[in-house]
Amino acid sequence: MYAIIEAGGKQYRVSEGDLIDVERRSGEVGQAVDFQDVLLIGDQETIHVGKPVLAGARVVGTIAEQGKAAKIIVFKFKRRKKYRKKQGHRQLFTRVRIDQIELDGPKGRQPKTEKIKKAITTEKETTEAVAKIPAKTVKKKAAKKAAAKAKDKAVKTSAKASKKVAPKAAKKKTKSVKKTAKKSTKKTVTKKTKE
């Protein structure tokens, strides 16, 4: 019997007694680990395929080792720019020994279709609950919300209008000041010429 499980964003084909290295999981050596994201279980006769996960299926294992993988060198450089960066990295892993593959074990992660069905039923319950609320309270709340929205809109539009009007008024003042200044200089000049 074998299974395909998902752990740490990767898929593994496992059978009983196998040792696999998965992304670091919390726990001590000898502690039990459950993989509930079982995508497929098969034996020589039948194959059970999940959509995407088999409901009720699980793979049980024990932690054999917590360790670090071999060091890799991460070297970055940009030619002609005098840029070089050398860095080492050791990936953390958990080595797991697979003990059991259960097809009808305790309920694991639910397939998406069941989640959607539950969501639909909760939506129906909420709509029924809303329908039971007296109409007066619903109308009052709706009226309050509408009034608050209208008030916010009025404040925003008045702020926009004041921003548009203020620069125009300032421009008009400067023009009128310039005109009066020109007129006053002309008058003084004309008086001098008459005398």
- Residue 13, beta-bridge partner list: 4
- What is the structure's pLDDT at 81? 97
Give the model's pLDDT for residue 195: 47
CA–CA separation, 125 vs 100, rounded Å? 40
For residues 63 and 92, give the distance between their C-alpha atoms in angstroms, rounded to a whole number: 14
Q: What is the residue range of 17's domain?
A: 2-115
Q: Which residue has the tokens 């299974």?
A: 3
Tokens of 140: 């009052």
Give the model's pLDDT for residue 157: 73
pTM, two decimal places = 0.52
**pLDDT given for residue 150 in this prediction:** 79
pLDDT at 85: 98
Q: Which position has the token pair 């019997």?
A: 1
Regarding beta strands 92-102 and 19-23, do their DSSP bridges make them parallel or antiparallel, or are they unpaired? Answer: antiparallel
Residues paired with residue 11 on neighbouring β-strands, in sequence order = 6
In a domain, 169, yes or no: no
Is residue 82 included in any domain, yes or no? yes
- Burial label for 161, CB within 10 Å (0-12, 13-18, 19+), is exposed
Number of domains in the chain: 1
In this prediction, the residues of the chain whose per-residue pLDDT falls under 50 are: 108, 195
Considering the domain boundaries, does residue 49 fall inside one? yes
Radius of gyration of the chain (CA): 38
CA distances from 62 to 4, 51, 69, 73, 98 (A): 17, 27, 19, 31, 7
Q: Is 2 strand, coil or helix?
A: strand
Residue 69 lies in a domain: yes
> Which residues of the chain form beta strands (DSSP E)?
2-7, 10-15, 19-23, 32-35, 38-42, 47-49, 58-68, 72-78, 83-89, 92-102
Phi and psi at 46, nearest 5°, equal: -130, 160
- Is residue 13, in this structure, part of any structural domain at all? yes
pLDDT of residue 169: 55
With tokens 């319950």, the residue in question is: 125
